[in-house]
Copies of this chain bind each other. A is one copy, B any other.
């Protein structure tokens, strides 16, 4: 069982706390009446998706003995215009850099990560279309699911 607690801190600010005590401030934007004193909850969902797939991707690449120096992930989401303003589509780009990174192995590792191991991607894809892309040392490699 996973559990988090979230406490209201006035106006539209909430602070989430996990079992280890990590604190995550959440707030609405000023346009919406918040004070921007924390992350938007919907951006947390994008971080959940990027972090979950990233952890699994790295774990699988380690097992494949694929070594990299950097891994940066960019997650962008487009929302529908009417309430509830759910994400209609989300794009995730994995940017790796390092020597001798085989694109085919990264593609295979990402398949396993996003389709088999990552819980977030397998939940979010039930409501939003998720597309993925891989860049290695600045060169794009189309991802084949």
Which residues does A use to contact B, with CB under 8 Å? 1-8, 12, 14, 16, 18-20, 22, 24-28, 33-34, 36, 38-52, 54-55, 58-59, 70-79, 83-87, 115-124, 126-128
Q: Are A58 and B8 in contact (CB under 8 A)?
A: yes
Q: Are A24 and B6 in contact (CB under 8 A)?
A: no
Q: Are B44 and A44 in contact (CB under 8 A)?
A: yes
Number of copies: 2
Q: Which residue from B7, B83, B123 sits with its C-beta under 8 Å from A72?
A: B7
Q: How far is the CA of A16 from the CA of B5 in the complex (A)?
A: 20
Task: List residues of chain B with CB within 8 A of the CB of A115.
Answer: 84
Q: Are B76 and A1 in contact (CB under 8 A)?
A: yes
State how many angstroms separate the Cβ of A49 from the closest Cβ of chain B. Answer: 8
Q: Are A123 and B128 in contact (CB under 8 A)?
A: yes
Find the B residue at minimum CB distance from A50.
B6
Q: How far is the CA of A121 from the CA of B45 in the complex (A)?
A: 11
